[in-house]
């Protein structure tokens, strides 16, 4: 991949021993900064992301090194100070994991359909004004989802969900609009819908299964960080997203912490 002018300009101003690397994803790295810049650019520019296998081929590094670089960058992409959501917010959950029909007979999981998802990881999402916030959760029960909504969404806002029982009772703090999918309805009488967040899940899963094939529950949140970041910055140019990404590189994820 040919580096952009923005990356080349940074290469001239930043060296391996520069103080700017301290406290960033570059700290104590033995990898050339030019490779880091290329990785940040590709991870932020590819619509569905890039696998460590592909990155290792592009950069000429080992797959292990490429994976570690990408995981550091995904960690840096997380939203550290999310703003309170105001107005119409779509809420929904999805489950990430393999499908029984794609497994060998000896690895099929019993009762893995619908919400019997013993081998899948639940992810909860909120979509507001074109931006999404997603997080891995332990389950999709009321005592898990309600506190997240109350923490993330301004009281009195409109929350649009499907009929899942975990959302019952949130109308004490919000205007709750329910889309009744079981009745083949995809909008409420007042035209509220959850199409946005459901469309986001569809894109997210296509990336997970199409690019990465399998993501462990342990690391899934970092992939959520990455995909949410690209989605929320989708309206800006790749070069501008790259520049924005460089403002988020503070903090360092060590390999020891990553594999714990």
- Give residue-wise pLDDT tens across range 156-175: 999 999 999 999 999 999 99
Q: Which residues contact 131 (CB under 8 A, 6 or more apart)?
A: 231, 232
pLDDT recorded at residue 252: 67
Same domain, 106 and 207: yes
DSSP codes, 147-169: HHHHHHB-TT-EEEE-S-GGGTT
Average pLDDT over residues 76-91: 92
Cα 231 to Cα 100: distance, rounded to the nearest angstrom:
29
Tell me the two tokens of residue 150. 């109350």
Phi, psi of 125 (to 5 degrees): -135, 150
3-state helix, strand, coil in the chain (%, to 5): 45, 15, 40
pLDDT recorded at residue 184: 59
Residue 146 in this model has a pLDDT that exceeds 80: yes
Residue 250 in this model has a pLDDT that exceeds 80: no
Residue 142 falls inside a structural domain: yes
What confidence category does residue 201 fall into, taking pLDDT thresholds of 50, 70 and 90?
very high
Same domain, 227 and 188: no
Same domain, 27 and 127: no
Same domain, 64 and 129: no
Q: What is the DSSP letter of 94?
A: E
Same domain, 192 and 249: no
Same domain, 11 and 34: yes
What confidence category does residue 206 fall into, taking pLDDT thresholds of 50, 70 and 90?
very high
Cα 72 to Cα 249: distance, rounded to the nearest angstrom:
9
Same domain, 172 and 230: no
CB 153 within 8 A of CB 85: yes
- Angle of the 63-76 helix axis to the 52-59 helix axis, nearest 10: 110
Residue 89 in this model has a pLDDT that exceeds 90: yes
Residue 71 in this model has a pLDDT that exceeds 60: yes
Average pLDDT over residues 223-247: 94
Q: The whole model's pTM is what?
A: 0.84
Nearest CA to 85 out of 16, 153, 151, 164 is that of 153
Same domain, 157 and 227: no
Same domain, 103 and 193: yes
User: Quick one: 139 exposed, middle or buried, by C-beta within 10 A (0-12, 13-18, 19+)?
Assistant: middle
pLDDT recorded at residue 19: 44
What confidence category does residue 125 fall into, taking pLDDT thresholds of 50, 70 and 90?
very high
Same domain, 50 and 105: no
Q: Which residues contact 187 (CB under 8 A, 6 or more apart)?
A: 179, 193
> What is the H or E stretch that residue 159 is in?
strand 158-161
Q: What proportion of the chain, given as a percentage, has pLDDT over 70? A: 77
Same domain, 92 and 176: yes
Sheet containing 88-96: which strands, arranged edge to edge? 131-136, 121-128, 88-96, 158-161, 175-178
Phi, psi of 112 (to 5 degrees): -105, 15
**Containing structural domain, residue 225:** 5-76+220-259
């Amino acid at each position: 991949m040919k580096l952009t002018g923005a990356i080349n300009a940074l290469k001239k101003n930043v060296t391996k021993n520069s103080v700017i690397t301290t406290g960033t994803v570059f700290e104590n790295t033995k990898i050339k900064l030019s490779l880091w810049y290329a990785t940040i650019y590709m991870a932020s520019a590819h619509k569905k992301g890039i696998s460590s296998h592909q990155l290792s081929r592009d950069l000429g590094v080992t797959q292990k090194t490429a994976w570690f670089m990408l995981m550091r960058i995904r960690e840096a992409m997380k939203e550290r100070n999310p703003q309170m959501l105001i107005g119409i917010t779509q809420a929904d959950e999805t489950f990430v994991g393999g499908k029984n029909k794609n497994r060998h007979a000896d690895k099929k999981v019993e009762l893995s359909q619908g919400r019997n998802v013993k081998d899948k990881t639940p992810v909860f999402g909120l979509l507001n004004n074109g931006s999404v916030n997603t997080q891995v959760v332990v389950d999709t029960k009321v005592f898990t989802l309600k506190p997240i909504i109350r923490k993330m969404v301004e009281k009195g806002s409109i929350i649009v969900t499907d009929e899942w029982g975990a959302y019952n009772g949130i109308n004490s703090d919000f205007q709750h609009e329910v889309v009744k999918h079981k009745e083949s309805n995809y909008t409420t009488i007042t035209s509220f819908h959850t199409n946005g967040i459901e469309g986001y899940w569809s894109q997210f899963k296509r990336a997970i299964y199409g690019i990465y094939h399998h993501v462990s529950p342990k690391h899934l949140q970092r992939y959520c960080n990455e995909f949410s970041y690209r989605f929320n910055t989708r309206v800006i140019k790749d070069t501008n997203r790259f520049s924005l990404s460089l403002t988020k590189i503070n903090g360092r994820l060590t390999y020891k912490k990553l594999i714990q």
